[in-house]
Chains A and B, each alone.
Chain A
Amino acid sequence: MPRVNDAVPQGWTVVPQGDRALLLVFGDGIAVEVGRRCAAAAAALRQAAIPGVTDVVPAFNSVAVHYQPRPSCSGAAFRQLADEIESVLACTLDARQAPAAGRQIEIPVCYGGQFGPDLDEVAAHCKLDAADVIRLHSGQSAYVFMLGFAPGAPYIGVHDKRLAIGRRPTPRTAVPAGSVAIANLQTMIYPNVSPGGWHIIGATPSILFDPAKTPSTLLAPGDTVRFVPVSSDEYLVLKQEQEREQA
């Protein structure tokens, strides 16, 4: 299981990732403060709109910058971009300004039963009641570290240590869309039917990804999420509303 790191290291390192990307590394564990630095760096770099940069991708402890080397910097494209990035980040991160807080988003979740087939197993593993798992999962807000795995799929954490559990030994081949699943003190929400190895404790009627909408994803890195328990009746009503909206 990845280490959960409470220390926030200052500074960062820059390493090439092939000839069209580089990686800024901000720390070596999962910590909300490190995640916030990554999100703030990514936001600053996106805003700086450095020519040739196509994508800026924050993750738990890193930010990838994908770029197209320009003919003007033949032979030194990596070094030149790394310098430009250093100067953008020097003004943003070293000023120690509180990074712009992401949005606060509530996500309704119907826990257990047909929607969360692994809830009881998780409770047993953590030596808790199912109700405690729900309370701990929804009781405190959590941070969206990154989106990955699938379009709109968030990695959310860090949850209360009492919810510690690894991945399932054998992944499921088809997890239903909207499944809310936990592993390694994090939550993943599956936007579409896909294979998945995390423990499914509930489902949300919210639509995580719609390529025809702007923005196309419900969440973005840097957002804060609060899971709100709903009944299965409420889930169905919300789901119908969402589907009407999408149609």
Chain B
Amino acid sequence: MSITVLKPGLLSSFQDLGRKGYQHLGVPVGGAMDSRAHRLANLLAGNPQDEATLEITLSGPTLRFDSPACIAIAGAALSPTVNGKPVPNNRPLVIRQGDVLAFGARTAGLRAYVAWHGGIDLPVLLSSRSTYLRGGFGGYKGRALRANDVLRLRSPLDGPDLDALARELWNIKIYLPAPLGLAPRSAVRAMPGAHTSLFKDKSVDDFFSSEYRISPQSERMGYRLEGNTLELKSNAQLLSEATSFGSVQVPPDGKPIVLMADRQTTGGYAKIAHIASVDLPAIAQCMPGDALGFMPVELQEAQALDMQREEAFEQLCQALAPVRRLLQGD
């Protein structure tokens, strides 16, 4: 019933859809940076969408399975292999006892998600299994994986005939609805907010028309951007107020920061814009050094796009009923 971490990878931590309902206590939401890929991995492994998955970053871990399991990998293309043989993203995969899952070269994206059917045995803290790395709690011992960690499956993969199961899973046709993919975009969509008019007109123009580069100082808390600096009309200090996933805040140095999954719940810097939720996964898959541009979008359109993605998840969830039937044996 266990999995041994042979190599931890660059930064591998368990994440789910985050801690909802505790922001008024200052507890960051956290959760998967690319919630789209996280949910895909779960659905493909026959799980509910909020089961914890392993978020792996750039260079993946090497894991030895000491018992059989069904997994699915989604998100970044990090050349996954089982016993040295390439395996695809976006498919349920049957893993035998003794198999070794490893990752190789990155060909696209930054973060991939590994879901285990039935989930990994992790404590639920504040309604979530997400790891809050900065706070040192949640997930696996409140930290990223290390070599020799042992993960336990919550429920073993029952059924004696793994070959038959693998064959039957392989025969299920899986089509990913288009809104669940990441179409390449020249610019990320963002909405102006209550503070936008506090910035100089030129700064607002610069933000929406010039190119930014993701700084090496970018992590789960936020992405720092290098490019034209942004200035306020006057340097009146603002009162701290709540932040959102995708708020673009601008500290006094004028360099924008896109707030990501582990952002602080509140902040006192002016926010020039808020990224459309539908485009957050694209940012989460960007590497330091990548170029990023922004274009304005209306709130209504952003919400319609968000809704389209939700409907596509609904469709996929229904289409994957045969996978769940096979894995749950009913």
Residues of A whose CB lies within 8 Å of any CB of B are 1-2, 15-21, 23, 25, 28-30, 42, 54-62, 64, 66, 69, 71, 74-78, 146-153, 155, 192, 209, 211-212, 215-217, 220-221
Contacts and interface: CB of A to CB of B under 8 A. Distances in A.
A36 B73 CA distance: 48
Contacts of A152: 25-27
A19 B193 contact: no
A19 B135 contact: no
A60 B241 contact: yes
Contact of A149 (B22, B193, B266): B266
A221 B271 CA distance: 23
Contact of B25 (A21, A29, A151, A192): A151
A54 B246 CA distance: 16
B194 A15 contact: yes
Contacts of A151: 22, 25-28, 135
Contacts of A149: 26, 264, 266
A100 to B, nearest CB: 15
Interface residues of B, number: 46
B191 interface: yes
Interface of B: 20-29, 125-126, 135, 137-138, 191, 193-194, 237-242, 244-247, 264-267, 271, 274-277, 299-300, 302-304, 306-307, 310-311
A192 B135 contact: yes
The residue in B137, B242, B247, B266 that gathers the most chain A C-beta atoms within 10 A of its C-beta is B242
Closest 7 CB pairs of A and B: A18-B274, A148-B266, A64-B242, A147-B26, A19-B302, A57-B242, A55-B23
21 contacts: A16-B299, A17-B247, A17-B271, A18-B277, A20-B244, A23-B241, A57-B242, A57-B266, A59-B266, A60-B240, A61-B241, A66-B23, A66-B244, A78-B300, A78-B303, A151-B27, A152-B27, A153-B26, A209-B25, A211-B135, A220-B25
A59 to B, nearest CB: 4
Nearest to B245: A20
A59 B241 contact: yes
A225 to B, nearest CB: 15
A105 B3 CA distance: 46
B23 A57 contact: yes
A63 to B, nearest CB: 8
A185 B300 CA distance: 41
Contacts of A56: 24
The residue in B194, B241, B310 that gathers the most chain A C-beta atoms within 10 A of its C-beta is B241
A17 to B, nearest CB: 6
B241 A55 contact: no
The residue in B28, B138, B191, B299 that gathers the most chain A C-beta atoms within 10 A of its C-beta is B299
Contacts of B274: 17-19
Contacts of B307: 69, 71, 74, 77
Contact of B24 (A15, A30, A69, A221): A221
The residue in B20, B135, B304 that gathers the most chain A C-beta atoms within 10 A of its C-beta is B135
Given A20-B244, A20-B277, 4 more contacts: A19-B306, A155-B240, A212-B125, A217-B26
A60 B240 CA distance: 7
B191 A19 contact: yes
A18 B135 contact: no
Contacts of A211: 27, 125-126, 135, 137-138
Contacts of B28: 151
A78 B23 CA distance: 20
A155 B241 CA distance: 12
A18 B24 contact: no
A191 to B, nearest CB: 8
B224 to A, nearest CB: 16
Contacts of A75: 300, 303-304
B304 A74 contact: yes
A148 B20 CA distance: 15
A53 to B, nearest CB: 10
A18 B273 CA distance: 8
The residue in A20, A58, A147, A151 that gathers the most chain B C-beta atoms within 10 A of its C-beta is A151
Contacts of A71: 307, 310-311
Given A16-B299, A71-B311, A57 B265 contact: yes
A218 to B, nearest CB: 10
A59 B264 contact: no
Nearest to B239: A60
B252 to A, nearest CB: 12
B194 A17 contact: yes
Contacts of B238: 2
A147 B25 contact: yes
Nearest to A27: B239
Nearest to A78: B299
B256 to A, nearest CB: 15
A147 B306 CA distance: 29
Contacts of A1: 237
Contacts of B126: 211, 216
B14 to A, nearest CB: 15
Contacts of A192: 135
